[in-house]
Structures are given as C-alpha cells and as structure tokens.
Structure 1
C-alpha cells in the first residue's frame, strides 16, 4: 500500500548556532540578514529581521544567566521562512503577560520589547519557565504578501545542534505526509559517532525516508536500513501520527527516545536494539494514544531522557519549533550531537 500524495512537509537543515558573548548581537544581525537576503526578502523586511534578532540577542546578554541563538531557514509545504530562536537558561520571566505588552522594554535595550517583536514578525511565540529559562521565536516568511501557512491538526518541527567544535551534525529529522486524513510520518535519526561520517549517514537516512513509498513505519524503517548499508549506520525511529484516529505508531532501532507527552505525563514508545544499516532486528511496531493537546516527541541521546512534560506548563499550546526548542534548551547535553523532532496534536 502506497501513501496518498506523499510529500515532504519539513526537514532538518543548516542551523547557525551562536553562543552568548559580547559579539552576539552583531553576529546574529549579520547572519539573520544574510539568511533573509538569500530568500529574496525585500530590504524593508530584512531590516525587520535584523531589528528583531538584535533585540532578542540584547535580552539574552543583559538578563539571562547563559544562552544562545539558533538561526535557520525553515521550509514547510513549499514555503520558506527565516526563523530566529533565542534560548536561555534563566532566570525566566516572572510576568510574561506584562513583558509581551507592545513598547515594554527592559532598561537599556532598544526599547521595542517582545511585544513589538511579535508585531514585526509574521509569526512568533515565547515560553518562559520562571527560574529555568525562556525561548523566544520569530519567523519571517518569504513572499510576505501571502498569508502564513495555517497549521492543521498536526504541527511538526524539530531542531539539531552539532557537538561543540564540529561543523556538521549527525542527527537529523524529517516529516512527510502519510496515508490518512492529516496524517504525518516522522523520522528521527542519530548517525553513529559525530562529524562528517555521521552526517553522511544522516543525509542518506533522510533521503531514503523522503523517497520511501512505504505506508507503515516498519516498512519505512526497512527502506532506511537498506539505504544505510554503505555507511557506519544510525539509530533510527519512524513514527506514523494519525490525528483522526488519535494514535501514533512507531518502529525504531537503536537509542532514540520516543514518547507521547501530555500536560499530565508521558507514555514511552520503545525502539529495539540494533543499528540501521548494520544490524536491524525484525522490526516491531508499538502504538500509543495521541489525544488532542498531546505531542509526540522523539530525540537522540544528545538530550537527557529525564525531562517531564509536567515541568513545562503551557508548552504544548505553542508552535512545534518552539516546543522543540524549549525541551532542547532544558534537556540537551554537550557530549554529543543533539536532535529532536516534535508533532503537536492541536486542540480542535
């Protein structure tokens, strides 16, 4: 059985990570401007991008214990945008509602505040955990005269970061349409080791996932396994998310954490021991309920698996990229490549 009109929805791309230091604002402004011009955004819109990232960087430097920014081009369903994420480790925002008022700004900043960031960006969001950290998201779409894509019942996105000192990341993810109303197929892949050879395995896995005509997670996993035979191999998990049936099915091999997160807890979906491309056991498929308001989260061992959904109040009401970034910010470790992909089942 083949997927109906299977098309790529979103996938990992280059992410420009910038650490918080005295040069953050200038570096972020320069990199964001380059990304915006690469998409052909008009200079007026480029200026808005640069102004927003400057304010985001200024806030991180002035008020956060530590932090970073992630700048990238996101592509979804044939549209492209510049996305800017700031992630910090606290102290968080005690009065988020006040901070979002247009014109509110901390002393000494540009004076435009997060409320104006929200007004200037095509889409934006902020989630703060008092005492722990804040993620701010701003997205600027190419072809700004066309309305931003409207999320369906499922909203999916992810984030990756290479091991410190490396230029390439062996972790990758992708999302494509699947057979069924609004259904999506997701892949999370962790190429063994790190560096160029791990990235090569990740690239091949992503290409095989995109090209697979199989409709079941176990069959897609087998397709990826065959494509990785000439590589060092990877841990891979494939999930089919069906909002109409309120369920997720997953087949995986290797150390990929997968779980359904709800505001009240989490349900794990196991992967079998093995290495796609090297030694794949007979695939098994596991199933869990995915009610509205829940999210499927898959991540590599570059993130700790000790995080709890109850530690993130209000998070799953946000855009999937912001959800991924906040979990990433709180759970990522620095000893390896790190990657996460999230599918949020929207409340009707």
Structure 2
C-alpha cells in the first residue's frame, strides 16, 4: 500500500523502494514489539515536491531512552538491529515520541531524491492532517484541507453528519469548495460550502487562515469542530457558531486571534474528546505536528465515529 501511494505521488522506482523499506521496517517493528498498533499512510504536497508520510503508532508501555533504539546494532528481539536507524537515514523528516507509560509514535516523511542536512526550511508553518474512518467503515466522513503557499496558510476541517458514504459526500463537497477557491477567507468558505452542501446530510466546518508576516489568525466555524491555540503556558479556545452547513445555518462571524510564534493550532472533529492537555504527555509539545496529532488520535479518539485532526505549528523566522 505504501508503494502504491508513492507511485500515485509520482515517485520513481528508487524512491518507491525507500518508501517500501521504511514501511516494512516500521510494520515489522509493530508486529514484533507492539500489543496494539497501527500504521497510517498518506501523501501530500510540500512546496514543489510530493511527500509520503508514514506514522507508526502503538500503545506499548514505551521506552525511557527510545533514542538508543536508533543506533545500529540495538535490538531486543535478536535481530541485527538496523531497522530504525535505516528508517531515520531514509527520511526527509524523522521524529518520535516515547516514554514510560506513553507508548511510541514514529514519524517518517520521505521525499524524492537525496536529503541534504543543509537544505533550508521552506515554510513558516509545519503541519499535519489525519483522518480515520469509524470502525466498520471503508470511507471517512471527515475531511481536511491544508495549503501553505508563499507564506500564506489556509486550512479547513469538515465533519459530515453521521459516518459512512453519506457523511463523506458532504465533507468532500466542502473540500472541493476549499480547493477551488482563489480568494480565500474562512467566512467565505463557510458561506460557499453551505450552498454547495444543500441536498446532502450537511456538515460541521471550521476554517482558518494566517500570514507568516503577521500574528493574526483568521478563524470561522459552524458546528462541533473543536479549535484551540496551544502554548506551553496554556490554551485558548476558538469560538464556533451553532448550525449545520447545508441545513440549518444563518450567519457566521470571522474572528481574529493572536497566534504567537512557536505556538500550535489544533482543530479536530468530535470523534476526538475535547478534554485533553498536551502537558499530560511531557515533551510532546516540542514534537513534530504529525507526532502530536498521532498521540492525540491514539489517546483521545472516542472509537465510535470518524475522527480527524489538524495540527499546525507556527515556526520562528
């Protein structure tokens, strides 16, 4: 499956081989060591290149010194012990979170070509969007859209009512509106999506936009999408209005919040519990947004509905 996703993303044979190695090593690691685990796969565009992202998530007790596992030759299962070290070497971006009682999440992002440590950061925003279908469903009724272009961030998350194909139809229509908009504002996306979703089940939707050169965050939401700005000193919730796009909806205000550098924006559907704190997992705040999203999805997912989460870190210049 990872190789197929890489092929669809335009990876050549050699780069598809890198993806296959990483997927195999992470999956094998789960089979050998995890009691509960999953692999999440996706591809996305970053700047001018495609990225394949692989997340390994487990609920094991975790390791006090996971970094030692990355050294070649380290093994607790009688193997050569080169797997995680190879995963790190083949990854454009690699990160992990593990600790006693906290399980383990491993992130690998693979890009075509050779990675150079001197390559400068291409974006003022670092982000991840994850969607997982409800148990027993083959499609997810939630959908996310994120775009970073020339210092401009725009994003959305939609939760179609219920789950299954009917919910997916509604959320995908909202994503189509997001993709086709040239002049984007959160309020305009909500108003256009409301008209587009008429005749569907309807959806909750939240959207945001930001400029790398400003601390302003523009936000608008309708329905039960949770949104907050997270920092090391606390969190601030973002206000959504009651209603359902495509059904009961009157008006919405676009609100402006101050988004400090190095703080984190989190949006998620009601498939994830609302009462959580990043401080419950020491050190998690400093991890890549994909690792943060995976830990929250693992620990806070209700397990009976579609679940989606978007995490964005505003990086220092």
Query: TM-score, length-normalised on structure 1?
Result: 0.83
Residue 136 of structure 1, CA deviation: 0.7
Asked if the contact 1:128–1:134 (Cα under 8 Å) also holds between the matched residues in 2, the reply is yes
Residue 251 of structure 1, CA deviation: 0.7
2:293 corresponds to which of 314, 324, 329: 324
Consecutive unaligned residues in structure 1, runs of 5 or more: 1-30
Asked if the contact 2:71–2:82 (Cα under 8 Å) also holds between the matched residues in 1, the reply is no
- Over 3 Å counting, the alpha-carbon distance change for 1:281 and 1:177 in structure 2 is farther
Query: TM-score, length-normalised on structure 2?
Result: 0.90
SS at match of 1:283: coil
Residue 33 of structure 1, CA deviation: 2.6
2:75 corresponds to which of 97, 100, 105: 105
1:257 aligns with 2:233: no
Q: Distance in 1 between matches of 2:129 and 2:78?
A: 33
Residue 66 of structure 1 corresponds to: 36
- Once the two structures are superposed, residues 66-125 of structure 1 have per-residue CA deviations (whole angstroms, 9 ceiling, x without a partner) of 111112222334422322111111211210232233443332345214232101223221
Q: Which moved more, 1:268-277 or 1:104-113?
A: 104-113
Hey, which bits of structure 1, 4+ residues long, moved more than 6 A?
146-149
Q: Which moved more, 1:154-163 or 1:281-290?
A: 281-290
1:268 aligns with 2:200: no
* Count of aligned pairs: 315
- Over 3 Å counting, the alpha-carbon distance change for 1:84 and 1:289 in structure 2 is same
- Over 3 Å counting, the alpha-carbon distance change for 1:220 and 1:41 in structure 2 is closer
Residue 92 of structure 1 corresponds to: 62
SS at match of 1:313: coil
- Once the two structures are superposed, residues 115-169 of structure 1 have per-residue CA deviations (whole angstroms, 9 ceiling, x without a partner) of 3210122322112243122111112223x25878834221222000001111111
Asked if the contact 2:92–2:115 (Cα under 8 Å) also holds between the matched residues in 1, the reply is no
1:33 aligns with 2:9: no
RMSD: 2.3
Consecutive unaligned residues in structure 2, runs of 5 or more: none
Residue 237 of structure 1, CA deviation: 0.4
SS at match of 2:155: strand
Asked if the contact 2:73–2:80 (Cα under 8 Å) also holds between the matched residues in 1, the reply is no
